[in-house]
Amino acid sequence: MKKIMILAAGNVVASGISSLLDVFSFCNLYWQRQEPAAQHELFHVHLISPDGQAVSTNQGFALPARAIDEVDLLQADAVLLASAFVTNEIGLAEFEQAFAPFVEPLKRYARTGKPIAAYCSGTLVLAATGLLDGVRATTVWWLSELFRRRFPRAELCMDSLVVADGQFHTAGATSACLSLALHMVEMLVGVQVAHQLSKVLLVAPNRSSQQPFMTMSFQLNQHQDSQVRAAQEWMQQNLAASLSLDELAAQFALGKRTLIRRFKLALNETPGSYWQKLRIDEAKRLLETTDMALEQIIERVGYGDSSSFRKLFLQQTSLSPRAYRIKFNSHSCC
């Protein structure tokens, strides 16, 4: 039997914690059906809160839990960090404060080399402990810039849904916890059980990337540079414009180098790369919501070379334009 301890603090996201519990519960049920003579379950899951109080969720219900000082974390075969409802830096600070009683026990557990996993905002409080320094990890995509800014020593990898590096296993936004839980099942009890469970739960085992789901419209804009914000708004309204960076900078009475420097400080990328992302984002919207021919879409978002566009689209979404339309639009025209 494998002992799983889930650390939950703050206003826990209900869908995430219930999904984790469901995966391990269904796994036990599957095991009992396959091995009726077995005298034990595959997983014994413990929900741990900082003070032993029930874990509150953003949906208003609570789950019973044990206090961190009442359990021996070192006895766990794996530790998972549940996500809390975080949408900005203030919310992250509150989450870190609620999570504080877990930090030292988690660091002691980390020295055992046994698995530690986190998903969604849980990846940020894991990074805040310093345990992800020098480690490849992923996070919830709409908080990725906050993650980069706060935890530059972690090696952020946003093209994967689940990232494993040594004992650390991280996943993206809330529903990615299903893929993370299946990943943990595979690691702890074997690939055959994990694959069978993925069929029971209707969770595709090949969900490998969160890139197709990313959108610029949901990115948090937390910088205070008014000129960069004005440039962002202008780009959004003039996607098909063919201005050079010099001409773009002149629109806002800045030199090209100054514009690039301020974009990097505010957004951690160049104006050129930001403009490309906006164009791809609009192309995604049109592929999702219209039957426009791809060549028309390419022209509307300011590209003259369809080959370059297709290559860039694939790089940013991990799908071809046609595959993206089939996945996200009920129309079949391409």
What are the tens digits of pLDDT across the range 14-62?
A: 888 888 999 999 999 888 887 887 778 899 999 999 999 999 887 778 8
In tens, the pLDDT along 110-161 reads: 999 999 999 999 999 999 999 999 999 999 888 888 999 899 999 999 878 8
Q: Are 119 and 170 in contact (CB under 8 A)?
A: yes
Where b means 16+ CB within 10 Å and e means fewer, 275-310 reads bbbbbbbbbbbbbeeeebebeebbeebbbeeeeebb
Contact 185/19 with Cβ under 8 angstroms? no
Sign of CA dihedral 131, 137, 143, 148: positive
Does 102 score more than 60 pLDDT?
Answer: yes
User: What local confidence, expressed as pLDDT, does residue 333 receive?
Assistant: 42
Residue range 178-193: mean pLDDT, rounded: 90
Residue 219 has pLDDT above 70, yes or no: no
Q: In the chain, where does the domain assigned CATH 3.40.50.880 lie?
A: 2-211
106-121 burial, b if ≥16 CB within 10 A, otherwise e?
Answer: beebbeeeebbbbbbb
Largest CA distance in the chain: 77
Q: Which pLDDT belongs to residue 171?
A: 94
pLDDT at 175: 74
In CATH, the architecture of 2-211 is 3-Layer(aba) Sandwich (3.40)
Task: Provide the terminal-to-terminal Cα distance of the chain, rounded to the nearest Å.
Answer: 50
What would the pLDDT profile of 154-185 be if each residue is shown by its tens digit? Answer: 999 987 889 999 999 999 876 788 889 999 99
Q: Which residue has the tokens 């219930």?
A: 18
At 334 the pLDDT is 41
Instruction: Please name the CATH architecture into which domain 216-328 falls.
Output: Orthogonal Bundle (1.10)
| Number of C-beta neighbours around residue 101 at 10 A | 18
Q: Boundaries of CATH 1.10.10.60 in the chain?
A: 216-328
| pLDDT at 83 (0 to 100) | 93
Q: Is the pTM of this model over 0.75?
A: no
pLDDT, tens digit, 9 for 90 and up, residues 253-303: 899 999 999 998 888 889 988 888 888 888 888 888 888 899 999 988 888
pLDDT digits (tens, 9 = 90+) for 54-97: 998 877 788 999 999 999 999 999 999 999 988 888 999 999 99
